[in-house]
């Protein structure tokens, strides 16, 4: 699909950092590949895109992104199979979502051909950074920031779209313990919760740090109005298994339309597992935990694929979840990994080979 295009100028790095990286001990998101993709928006249009060596950039202190948080991003991964072929998973969904996020933050849409040509050429240049083997991947971070040097509180006239990449191993491997939010909220009706807006994540850091002091890794956010419905966790949508039925909250303007989530809903249908998409009451999940019908709780997102939740606390009650022998979490994780790494058939056409 990617053409070594007339549209993109490519400046190759003269050296590589790859030999200084220990791929067996990667600290997530701290090491970046040799190249990055950059495209500026000026005079009402996206200018000629470039790939260049990964490097620091300079911005004026007045750049609007620093003052009003006009910034959106995406998170996706590239996977390599045992023959060295490289795949993306449902990348069009990420492309569409970054533009949906951008629209909500009053930012211009990025063109699809620039997105894919830029991304695929970048992955080809940094191919050696994508290691084969289940769990190894290249985390891809497309993002857009408002660069205009002006501090009046209004949308910028200039932006920068970029893609940077960071090698990753699977993380959140061990089951996590979560706290159900009772006071703080990550999003509100009519707000920006459904956008991958940078500020949504900053807003979670403080309440999450309080939860961490109490021994929980994550918070399960509840609806801001009543704190009685379970919504999503950190960077994951959440699924509950009561007896053999899966339940997950519907997406809304408070909840991100996760690609892993929608893939699991489809896989459940394929596997004949009932999945109810409906508001999930905190009380019903507590009741299910008490009467033993709550078999599993897990988060779903690109970074960890599936993250099993072993306990949750609400008010002063702690519930341990023992897990099921026939774990849905493990089944979905394996099924997704097999599709992502080109191990199994891809009946829905979710794999996108980078050629
Ligand atoms: C708030 C939030 N919810 C859910 C997800 C999971 O979405 P996806 O499966 O597309 O990675 C993410 C990660 O992107 C997220 O940031």
Are 300 and 275 in contact, with CB atoms under 8 Å apart?
A: no
> pTM of the predicted model, to two decimals?
0.96
Q: Is 259 in the pocket of ligand 1 (CB under 6 A)?
A: yes
DSSP 174: S
Among residues 229, 276, 231, 277, which one has the least CA distance to residue 255?
231
**CB crowding 28-65: b at 16 or more within 10 Å, else e:** eeebbbbbbbbbbbeeeebeebebeeeeeeeeeeebbb
Kindly indicate the confidence band of residue 128, based on its pLDDT and cuts at 50, 70 and 90. Answer: very high
Q: What is the DSSP annotation of 261-308?
A: HHHHHHHHHHHT--EEES-EEHHHHHHHHHHT-EEEEEEEETTTEEEE
Q: For residue 305, what are its two tokens?
A: 């694929």
pLDDT at 174: 83
Matching residue, tokens 């999450």:
208
Q: Report whether pLDDT(2) > 70.
A: no
DSSP 52: E
Name the closest-CA residue to atom 6, ligand 1.
Answer: 301
Cα 285 to its chain centre, rounded Å, is: 26
Q: Report whether pLDDT(6) > 80.
A: no
pLDDT in tens, 290-303: 999 999 999 999 99
pLDDT at 323: 82
Identify the helix (H) or strand (E) that includes residue 329.
helix 328-340
Identify the helix (H) or strand (E) that includes residue 159.
strand 159-168
Name the closest-CA residue to atom 1, ligand 1.
Answer: 235
Q: Is 307 in the pocket of ligand 1 (CB under 6 A)?
A: no
Mean pLDDT (the chain, rounded):
95
pLDDT in tens, 106-127: 999 999 999 999 999 999 999 9
Kindly indicate the confidence band of residue 207, based on its pLDDT and cuts at 50, 70 and 90. Answer: very high
Q: Is 232 in the pocket of ligand 1 (CB under 6 A)?
A: yes
* Side-chain half-sphere exposure of 6, counting CA atoms within 13 A: 0
Q: Is 237 in the pocket of ligand 1 (CB under 6 A)?
A: yes
Ligand 1 atom with least separation from CA of 74: 14
Q: Is 235 in the pocket of ligand 1 (CB under 6 A)?
A: yes
Probe target for ligand 1 pocket from 187, 258, 259, with the most ligand atoms within 8 Å of CB: 258
Q: Report whether pLDDT(5) > 90.
A: no
Among residues 161, 136, 175, which one has the least CA distance to residue 71?
161
Q: Report whether pLDDT(159) > 60.
A: yes
Are 315 and 182 in contact, with CB atoms under 8 Å apart?
A: yes
pLDDT in tens, 176-197: 999 999 999 999 999 999 999 9
pLDDT in tens, 53-81: 999 999 999 999 999 999 999 999 999 99
The torsion region of residue 171 among left (phi > 0), alpha (psi -120 to 50) and beta comes to beta
pLDDT at 4: 43
Q: Is 142 in the pocket of ligand 1 (CB under 6 A)?
A: no
pLDDT at 132: 95
pLDDT at 220: 98
Q: What whole-number percentage of the chain has pLDDT above 90? A: 93
């Amino acid at each position: 699909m990617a053409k070594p295009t007339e549209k993109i100028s490519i400046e190759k790095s003269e050296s590589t950092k790859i030999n200084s990286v220990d791929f067996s001990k990667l600290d997530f998101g701290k090491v970046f590949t040799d190249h990055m993709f950059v495209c500026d928006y000026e005079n009402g249009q996206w200018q000629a895109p470039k790939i260049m060596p990964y490097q620091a950039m300079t911005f004026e202190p007045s750049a609007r992104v620093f003052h009003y948080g006009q910034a959106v991003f995406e998170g996706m991964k590239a996977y390599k199979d045992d023959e060295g072929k490289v795949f993306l998973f449902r990348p069009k969904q990420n492309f569409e979502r970054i533009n949906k996020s951008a629209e909500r933050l009053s930012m211009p849409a990025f063109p699809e051909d620039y997105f894919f040509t830029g991304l695929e050429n970048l992955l080809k240049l940094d191919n050696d950074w994508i290691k084969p083997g289940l769990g190894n991947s290249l985390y891809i971070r497309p993002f857009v920031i408002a660069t205009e040097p002006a501090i009046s509180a209004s949308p910028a006239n200039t932006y920068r779209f970029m893609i940077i990449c960071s090698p990753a191993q699977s993380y959140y491997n061990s089951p996590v313990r979560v706290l159900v939010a009772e006071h703080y909220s990550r999003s509100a009706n009519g707000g920006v919760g459904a956008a991958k807006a940078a500020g949504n994540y900053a807003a979670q850091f403080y309440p999450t740090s309080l939860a961490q002091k109490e021994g929980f890794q994550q918070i399960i956010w509840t609806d801001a109005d009543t704190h009685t419905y379970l919504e999503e966790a950190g960077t994951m949508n959440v699924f509950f298994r009561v007896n053999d039925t899966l339940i997950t909250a519907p997406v809304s303007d408070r909840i991100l339309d996760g690609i892993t989530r929608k893939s699991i809903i489809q896989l459940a249908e394929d596997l004949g597992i009932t999945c109810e998409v409906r508001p999930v009451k905190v009380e019903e999940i507590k009741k299910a935990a008490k009467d033993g019908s709550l078999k599993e709780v897990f988060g779903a997102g690109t970074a960890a694929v599936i993250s099993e939740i072993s306990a949750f606390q609400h008010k002063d009650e702690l519930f341990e979840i023992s897990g099921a022998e026939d774990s849905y979490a493990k089944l979905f994780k394996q099924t997704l990994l097999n599709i992502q790494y080109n191990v199994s058939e891809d009946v829905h056409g979710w794999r996108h080979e980078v050629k």
